């Protein structure tokens, strides 16, 4: 039975991805940082509904020591990661000149350094088996940039470059590395918008609405299910917006 590790899995896109993979019979390792109650509730729900093994792991993926310990625990459970989905992420909205170094570093560590650390520890088993799938959840702002979201845009642009470079490095071992560049997905990350701002944004999207976590999750599973010949791709899911 294949095992998938999903970071940032307690809600939104991560929780939707967890359900899709559980429905297809994957063992789940689900991580989140702050929402322990929600993660455990989701784990129990998916285990009961789909009769799969679910291992919830609470911790901050911006901390490389936590990630090292998480993979040590995974190995202690006699598990290895067949599919890694780097979904954990945070945003910061505001003028660059008002941003502190600590705020900048928190965004970079959570959105980018966590991807490095999780890949670093997941790859040895994948290389040994000569198979594996890595999928990074990115953003259209990594492609085009967003005013007042410089740190977030920079982190996601780096994730996109990381994806392309690592894909070339591990393709000879049968491992694929891809990313989804999400447009505006209807999650709590966008709760900061007023009803008027939301309506204005929706009017700019050719499909006329936000995307849903389920749509993102279904695309994630479809990408992971493809031949490893599909690799190094940044696949945009934005309703024709960017």
Mean pLDDT (whole number) for 31-50:
96
Q: Which residues are catalytic?
A: 152
In a domain, 242, yes or no: no
DSSP state letter for 228: T
In a domain, 149, yes or no: yes
How confident is residue 170, by pLDDT bands cut at 50, 70 and 90?
Answer: very high
How confident is residue 197, by pLDDT bands cut at 50, 70 and 90?
Answer: confident
Q: SS3 for 15-43, per residue?
A: HHHHHHHHHCCCEEEEEECCCHHHHHHHH
Number of H helices, E strands in the chain: 9, 7
pTM: 0.95
How confident is residue 46, by pLDDT bands cut at 50, 70 and 90?
Answer: very high
The number of folded domains in the chain is 1
Share of the chain above pLDDT 70, in %: 99
How confident is residue 221, by pLDDT bands cut at 50, 70 and 90?
Answer: very high
How confident is residue 213, by pLDDT bands cut at 50, 70 and 90?
Answer: very high
Phi-psi group of 193: left, alpha or beta (phi > 0 → left; psi -120 to 50 → alpha; rest → beta): beta
In a domain, 217, yes or no: yes
Of 146, 165, 159, nearest to 204 by C-alpha is: 146
How confident is residue 188, by pLDDT bands cut at 50, 70 and 90?
Answer: confident
Please tell me the least confidently modeled range out of 21-25, 185-189, 191-195, 218-222.
191-195
Reported as a single tens digit per residue, the pLDDT across 48-58 is 999 999 999 99
In a domain, 200, yes or no: yes
Reported as a single tens digit per residue, the pLDDT across 173-184 is 999 999 999 999
Domain that holds residue 33: 3-237
In a domain, 138, yes or no: yes
Q: What is the pLDDT of residue 184?
A: 93
Question: Measured between alpha carbons, how far is residue 227 from residues 120, 132, 173, 189 in Å?
Answer: 22, 11, 13, 32
List phi, psi (to 5°) of 7.
-90, 155
Reported as a single tens digit per residue, the pLDDT across 68-87 is 999 999 999 999 999 999 99
CATH number, domain of 122, equals: 3.40.50.720
Q: What is the pLDDT of residue 237?
A: 97
In a domain, 26, yes or no: yes
Question: Measured between alpha carbons, how far is residue 2 from residues 25, 27, 129, 130, 154 in Å?
Answer: 8, 6, 12, 14, 33
């Amino acid at each position: 039975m294949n095992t998938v590790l999903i970071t940032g899995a307690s809600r939104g896109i991560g929780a939707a991805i967890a359900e899709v993979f559980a429905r297809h019979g994957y063992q789940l390792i689900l991580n989140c940082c702050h929402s322990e109650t929600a993660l455990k509730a989701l784990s129990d729900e998916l285990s009961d509904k789909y009769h799969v093994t679910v291992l919830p792991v609470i911790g901050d993926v911006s901390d490389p020591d936590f990630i090292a310990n998480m993979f040590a625990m995974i190995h202690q459970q006699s598990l290895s990661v067949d599919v890694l989905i780097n979904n954990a992420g945070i945003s910061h909205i505001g003028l660059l000149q008002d941003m502190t170094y600590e705020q900048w570093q928190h965004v970079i560590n959570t959105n980018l350094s966590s991807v490095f650390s999780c890949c670093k520890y997941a790859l040895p088993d994948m290389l040994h088996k000569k198979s594996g799938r890595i999928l990074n959840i990115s953003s259209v702002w990594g492609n085009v940039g967003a005013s007042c979201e410089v740190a977030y845009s920079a982190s996601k642009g780096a994730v996109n470059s990381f994806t392309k470079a690592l894909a070339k490095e591990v393709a000879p071992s049968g491992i694929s590395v891809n990313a989804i560049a999400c447009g505006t997905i209807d999650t709590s990350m966008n709760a900061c918008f007023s009803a008027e701002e939301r309506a204005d944004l929706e009017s700019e999207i050719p499909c006329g609405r936000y995307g849903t976590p389920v749509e993102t999750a279904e695309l994630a599973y479809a990408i992971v299910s493809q031949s490893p010949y599909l690799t190094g791709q940044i696949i945009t899911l934005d309703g024709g917006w960017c």
